[in-house]
Amino acid sequence: MAFDLVILISMLFAFALGVFLFKLPAGVSLMLGAVTGSIVGGEGIPIRHLVEGSIAFIDPIIIVITAMVFMKVMEETGALASINFGLMNSMHKYPTILIILITFFVMLPGMLTGISSTCILTTGALVAPALLAMGMPKQAVGALISVAAVFGMIAPPINLPIMIIGGGVDMPYIGFDKPLILLVFPLAIISAVYYRFMYLKKYNIKEVLEKLPPSVFTKYGTKLFLPLVLVLLVMVATRIFADTIPDIGIPMIFVLGVVSSYFTGKKFNLIELSRKAIRDSLPILVILVGVGMFVQIMTLTGVRGFIAISAIELPRVFLYIGIALIMPAFGSAFASSSVLGVPLIFVFLGTNEIVIASALSLIAGLGDLMPPPSLLPIFASHIVGEKNHFTILKKAIPIILLSLAFSVLVLIFAKDIGSFINVN
């Protein structure tokens, strides 16, 4: 036990050293931690295990690439800008409903890609000028799109943290839609209402619309949105009618969406957009490779079992407090899901693993807001023009605390919640 702890500390120390001292990307730091743990554990540098770990999450990697290409295409055809313009133009008389719909709109890329940063860089960048023109302070705008990005990453149909957790415990990504909807959308609505009544005053809709990218809906009509509708319909259909409709796989669904986009809106260069998409997604892809290596070495050296056994022996009160404090502290949803999410599933065996994994994914997802990386607040600060990203994080603290409290309650009552929503 004591030696397992030494290995774990060495892995975490190497990871922290890479992130904080050497300023390495989180994915590379995870690889450094994996190699360090292997050497300390007496396994040398096991090339076979490192290679196996690097491709452990090949399915999420392919999903990320195809989803990012699809979102770039949707942006290039004018579909996203047209949705944003239409929301503002049609709902400006109902500001509370408008802010809720804007929050859902910001979440959309994360729901389709499983990556929080895509929400900031696409739909978040589109709505930020409108929210600023409506009179919302830039710190509040940054906070709103940051927390919406987390909710988008966790919301169905794509949730990469759960896929990482499931990959470590052989749990298929099936049956998560209901618990994730119950977990995420109430929090998203509460967040939207909170920022609307705390920070949004009267506004001039004409000034707001002038600052938005123009809509191309009048030129292309409803066919502009057909690729998005197609992707969502196929995803839903393959879940509802799983017995009759063959599952072609999520990456292929995004490929169909890209192909159908050629006939709906503005023309685009697919090769160039694909290059941009892969370039933008590289930090996430490297993290997934690093996470795979890290988990593989944890398994090889026995560290994963040590964490699970140690967590089981903790009194439940301290366990819940530890989960709420430590999981977000990793600063990365993917790193947290792999290091703690995987062994914690074993701790909660016999309750409802699907509900448990859903709650753990949200707690881990909040790590994308946390310092020192503060990934989402930093992206949001560039979007809204705020030099100090900690002011954005400060405005997000009430929603972070609410989300943590709600997630812990879901963990506590997972068995009852699973029975209530008929998820086993």
**Separation of alpha carbons 340 and 324, rounded Å:** 11
Q: Is 159 left (phi over 0), alpha (psi -120 to 50) or beta?
A: beta
Tell me: the pLDDT tens digits for 335-381?
Answer: 788 778 888 888 888 889 999 999 999 999 998 898 766 778 888 88
Residue listed under structure tokens 């290409």: 69
DSSP 293-339: HHHHHHHHHTHHHHHHHHHHHS-HHHHHHHHHHHHHHTS-HHHHIII
**Closest C-alpha to 310, from 338, 332, 343:** 343
Tell me: the pLDDT tens digits for 44-71?
Answer: 999 999 999 898 878 888 888 998 899 8
Average pLDDT of the residues in 59-88: 88
Is 118 in a helix, a strand, or coil?
helix
How high does pLDDT run on average in the chain? Answer: 88
Cα→Cα distances 413→85, 224, 351, Å = 41, 43, 9
Answer whether the bond into residue 157 is a cis peptide, omega within 30°: yes
Tokens of 22: 């050497």
**Separation of alpha carbons 123 and 375, rounded Å:** 17
**Separation of alpha carbons 183 and 151, rounded Å:** 9
Q: Is 385 left (phi over 0), alpha (psi -120 to 50) or beta?
A: left
Residue 131, pLDDT above cutoff 60: yes
**Separation of alpha carbons 357 and 7, rounded Å:** 26
**Separation of alpha carbons 343 and 67, rounded Å:** 29
Structural domain boundaries in the chain: 2-420
pLDDT of residue 372: 65
* Contact yes or no for 201/135 (Cβ under 8 A): yes
